[in-house]
Amino acid sequence: MKVLVCISHVPDTTSKINFTADNSAFDKNGVQFVINPYDEFGLTRAIWLKEKKGASVTVLNVGGNETEPTLRKALAIGADNAIRVDAEPSDAFFVAKQIAAVAQEGGYDLIIAGRESIDYNGGQVPGMVAALLNWPFVNACVGMDGEGPEFNFTREIDGGKEKLSASLPLVIGGQKGLVEESDLRIPNMRGIMQARTKPLEVKAAVDAETKTSVGSFSKPAPKSAVKMIDAENVSELVQLLHDEAKVI
Amino acid sequence: MAEVEAKEYLKGGEFLIRTVESDEIFIPEDFSEEQKMMAQATTDFIEKEVVPQRDRFEKKDYAFTEEIMKKAGELGLLGITVPEEFGGLGMDFNTSMLVCDRISGVSGSLSTAYGAHTGIGTLPVQLYGTDAQREKYLPGLASGEIMGAYCLTEPGAGSDANSGKTKAELTEDGKHYKINGQKIWISNAGFANLFTVFARIEDDKYLTAFLVERGTEGMSFGEEEHKLGIHASSTRQVFFNDCIVPVENMLGERNGGFKIAMNALNYGRIKLAVACLDAARRVISYGVSYANERKQFGVSISSFGAIQQKLAEMTTKTWVAESAVYRAGQDIENHIIRLQEGGMSSAEAKLKGVEEYAIECAILKVLGSEVGSYVADEGIQIYGGMGYSADAPMEQAYRDVRIARIYEGTNEINRLHSVAMLLKKALKGEMDLMSPAMKVAGELMEIPSFDTPDYSVLFAEEKEIIEKLKKSILMVAGKAVETFGMDLEAEQEIIMNAAEMLIEVYAAESGILRAEKLAKQKGEEAVAHEINMAKLYLHGAMEQVAKHGREAIYSFAEGDEQRMMLMGLKRFTKAANPYNLKTLRRSIAAKVISDNKYPF
């Protein structure tokens, strides 16, 4: 089994989010980047497939060379090799086209991506990849078992869970549940040293349209202070809700 | 053709007599991606495996300490510098510093267990062991299957380690040594499997080291000691009653134990300094987040200058200590490489590499542990009454850091040692202290130079100040040597003054050079906070040098000579353009407050 794990290079969850002066882009200055947490669940699941079923695991990122430390971390955790498509990930369609091209060329039969990336939260890429390849797609996947080529999956749906099965080749949009947080691996020191010698191939992007363009970014308005009103004083509450909050 | 002169590397202690440039020093920002990944993995390990259960340390759960140590072994954190052929990673010295830094901050209990195991528990075997000893023990020490401990201190032999009374006597058949004696304050004793034990054979001048496995007949243990801090660091007495150890377990040569002990201490000292850093960072992060959250008089207490001042000083001292520690760490690594390239064996080079910078190791031990103590103390103060409660994290940090000023040689011993080693180097002709000291003495008689540096160049004045601070030390120490000769040893107060000056100058210089190197790499604007911290620290160092210089001068110089020295000192410790300290501190604090954690 050849597994392709898509790795987004995203700001650490504790980062302070700022935009460039004209609000047209995210300001990367001073921000620490990590493996997209949704992808990390997928990566760990892929490594289980490697350890239990002898799968090979390739990690893939579409981005500039600043994303290589993130790929090398995935190698240190246990992936066999890495591919970076050297291009600015301009929108979901562009990225999906790149992933589909790599998947086809490399003969992969399982693609695991996070259900979304925590930077722009588009949540579109894995679905688009499945559509481009005409493969089955299991989104919001929280469980996977079976020996392959057919697998049983559990996915999260509104108000409950859905069980389904599908055969390789297929695409998974993964999240917590695919493995648990306690299963996530900290790379060991030897793994980090070995990552140096594992192959990291840089590929040129295939032609693909960018179908969306960004207008501008803005931050949510800061929360205003909470006003406490005495429980006895209902009339003041009503008046404030009417005049200030304008909700009644 | 222009003559290119390769600059000689900076030898141990030489910073005092020569100008150091920023491109000569290593700064933490220079760590490679791989080293940073190792540091991050170590931090992730601590956050995931230790932080959620850190209370267990306070409940004296020694098994937890052992469990975390074993897990650290599985991750490869115990064998960073152990050669690959013995199951380690064979990484460089500064990487081992970095990992030690990140593993040590969460709890003094773990820090002590880690330091005792990887430092004094493993290094003597790694550096002095025979091939057979290394094959037998090193892989287990690197993986965590074997836990190490080190038995040097005795009830009557602490700082004066060589006065230990434990005896080793050759048995009649010549195949064993019989060890008798008592060791005290032995870290990891409760769970260690391998003990490096120091004992005297017959009436030898120096001690000899032996490797003693747990379970050897005649070896027994005292109860766990109850301590002020590091509650889950296992500390017991170890007793040897006709404990029979095979002769092949002698480590190094007969009479060579004291040398092993001292060299292990050089390592231990700089490692202890680095082990204090992450605790300080964590205290600062807790402190600022509490100050941001805690409201009094209707506002966050972090909006008060009195609190900002604390945050700025805590952060600055931590950042400067970090600068100094990793600077020396890389100097040591570079020297190890140089010695190996010169044909020395790896083990020998590692010993000599650290020994060369023994002065810096002693300086850093004091600096690291005192910065850690200062930060923990102020951390409690920021928390106010809550800081005194065992429910807040400061109380543990405060108790745990206290031992750092005591073990690995008390800070008093290290202060004395730093100056003594410097003078010894001069006496042995390894370093020319006398000519620069004479030059400074001559300068006192001359009319001071009115040349001023180009103040528009970053740190032009600061670097001049560093030179002048060095002159202050040379003036005071030079005169003290001239006055007391070999009897200076008995004037410990003056040596302490000199040591204080030395520590402050090494630290301040490290901060200035780091900020300068960063400014060259990223531009002054991008590193404005670092520049401010370097300046703030330098100011404090200047005040300390002036204070300790005066104290020393008052205590042995008299009359005209005293007046002249005091005038010189005043000239050497005065800034042409004094800083607005309030502004500096506020700007540093603003960064800490806005990041809501230690930001560098």
Residues 6+ apart with CB under 8 A from A60: A4, A5, A6, A7, A82, A83, A84, A85, A99, A102
pLDDT tens, B98-110?
999 999 999 999 9
Instruction: Reply yes or no on whether B217 is catalytic.
Output: no
**Rounded Cα–Cα distance for residues B380 and B386 (Å):** 8
Closest CA to A29 of B526, B30, B587, B517: B526
- Buried/exposed code over B465-497 (b: 16+ C-beta within 10 A; e: otherwise): bbebbbbbbbbbbbbbbeeeeeebeebeebbbb
CATH number of the domain at B432-595, please?
Answer: 1.20.140.10
Q: What is the ipTM of this complex?
A: 0.88
Closest CA to A115 of A180, A196, A37, A173: A173
Answer yes or no: is pLDDT of A26 > 80. Answer: yes
Answer yes or no: is pLDDT of B4 > 60. Answer: no
Average pLDDT of B461-486? Answer: 95
Residues in chain A within 8 Å Cβ distance of B594? 16
Q: Is B80 on the interface with A (CB under 8 A)?
A: yes
Of B33, B48, B80, the CB nearest to A189: B80
pLDDT tens, B163-186?
999 999 999 999 999 999 999 999
Residues in chain B within 8 Å Cβ distance of A183? none
Expressed in angstroms, the distance from the first to the final Cα of chain B is: 44
Q: Which residue has the higher pLDDT, B112 or A30?
A: B112
Distance from the Cα of A14 to chain B's closest Cα (Å) equals 10
Q: How many residues does chain A have?
A: 248
Closest CA to A5 of A51, A53, A54, A44: A44
Of A16, A188, A192, the CB nearest to B34: A192
- Closest-CA residue in chain A for B46? A186
Residue A204 main-chain phi, psi, to 5 deg: -75, 150
Between A163-167, A224-228, B37-41, the lowest mean confidence (pLDDT) is in A224-228
CB contacts < 8 A, A to B, total 42
Distances (CA, A) of A24 to A17, A124, A216, B75, B128: 13, 21, 5, 42, 61
- Buried/exposed code over B563-593 (b: 16+ C-beta within 10 A; e: otherwise): ebbbebbeebbeeeeeeeeeebbbbbbebbb
Distance from the Cα of B41 to chain A's closest Cα (Å) equals 6
Looking at residue B394, its pLDDT comes to 95
Tell me the percentage of chain B whose pLDDT exceeds 70. 99
Tell me the percentage of chain B whose pLDDT exceeds 90. 92
pLDDT tens, A32-54?
999 999 999 999 999 999 999 99
Answer yes or no: is pLDDT of B2 > 60. Answer: no
Domain chopping of chain B, boundaries: 148-255, 432-595
User: Residue B48 and residue A186: Cβ atoms within 8 Å?
Assistant: yes
Residues in chain A within 8 Å Cβ distance of B44? 186
Looking at residue B3, its pLDDT comes to 47
Answer yes or no: is pLDDT of A106 > 60. Answer: yes
Average pLDDT of B494-507? Answer: 98
Residues in chain A within 8 Å Cβ distance of B37? 69, 72-73, 76, 187, 192, 195
Answer yes or no: is pLDDT of B6 > 70. Answer: no
Distances (CA, A) of A124 to A103, A154, B15: 17, 20, 59
CB B578, CB B535: distance < 8 Å: no
The token pair at B442 is 């001559």
Tell me the percentage of chain A whose pLDDT exceeds 90. 76
- Closest-CA residue in chain B for A193? B34
Distance from the Cα of A18 to chain B's closest Cα (Å) equals 13
User: Residue B34 and residue A196: Cβ atoms within 8 Å?
Assistant: yes
Looking at residue B7, its pLDDT comes to 62
Fold classification of B148-255 (topology level) = Butyryl-CoA Dehydrogenase, subunit A; domain 2 (2.40.110)
pLDDT tens, A41-100?
999 999 999 999 999 999 999 999 999 999 999 999 999 999 999 999 999 999 999 999
- Per DSSP, the residues of A35-89 read E-HHHHHHHHHHHHHHHHH--EEEEEEES-GGGHHHHHHHHHHT-SEEEEEES--
Looking at residue A29, its pLDDT comes to 83
At B264, the pLDDT band (50, 70, 90 cuts) reads confident
pLDDT tens, B408-455?
999 999 999 999 999 999 989 999 999 999 999 998 888 877 788 888
Q: Quote the mean pLDDT of chain A.
A: 94
CB A144, CB A178: distance < 8 Å: yes
Average pLDDT of A121-134? Answer: 96
**Rounded Cα–Cα distance for residues A116 and A8 (Å):** 9
- For the packed helices B411-427 and B358-383, what is the interaxial angle rounded to 10 degrees? 150
Closest CA to B63 of B189, B285, B304, B234: B234
Residues forming a β-bridge with A4 = A58, A111
Q: Quote the mean pLDDT of chain B.
A: 95
Q: A-contacting residues of B 14-33, CB under 8 Å? A: 33
Looking at residue A224, its pLDDT comes to 78
User: Residue A187 and residue B37: Cβ atoms within 8 Å?
Assistant: yes
Distance from the Cα of A81 to chain B's closest Cα (Å) equals 17
> Would you say domain A2-220 falls under CATH 1.10.10.10?
no
**Is the preceding omega at residue B393 within 30 degrees of 0, hence cis?**
no
Q: Decide: helix, strand or coil at residue B581.
A: helix
**Rounded Cα–Cα distance for residues B140 and B528 (Å):** 47
Identity of the residue numbered B52: P
Query: Torsion angle of alpha carbons A39, A45, A46, A50, nearest 10°?
Result: 160
At B483, the pLDDT band (50, 70, 90 cuts) reads very high
**Rounded Cα–Cα distance for residues B317 and B374 (Å):** 9
Residue B166 main-chain phi, psi, to 5 deg: -65, 135
DSSP state of B88: S
- Closest-CA residue in chain B for A196? B34
Q: HEC string of B202-218?
A: CCCCCCEEEEEECCCCC
Residue B459's Cα: distance from chain center in Å? 27
Q: Is B477 on the interface with A (CB under 8 A)?
A: no
Answer yes or no: is pLDDT of B1 > 70. Answer: no
Q: How many CA atoms lie within 13 A of B61 on its CB side?
A: 13
pLDDT tens, B273-324?
999 999 999 999 999 999 999 999 999 999 999 999 999 999 999 999 999 9
Average pLDDT of B201-230? Answer: 96
The token pair at B501 is 């000056």
Distance from the Cα of A10 to chain B's closest Cα (Å) equals 16
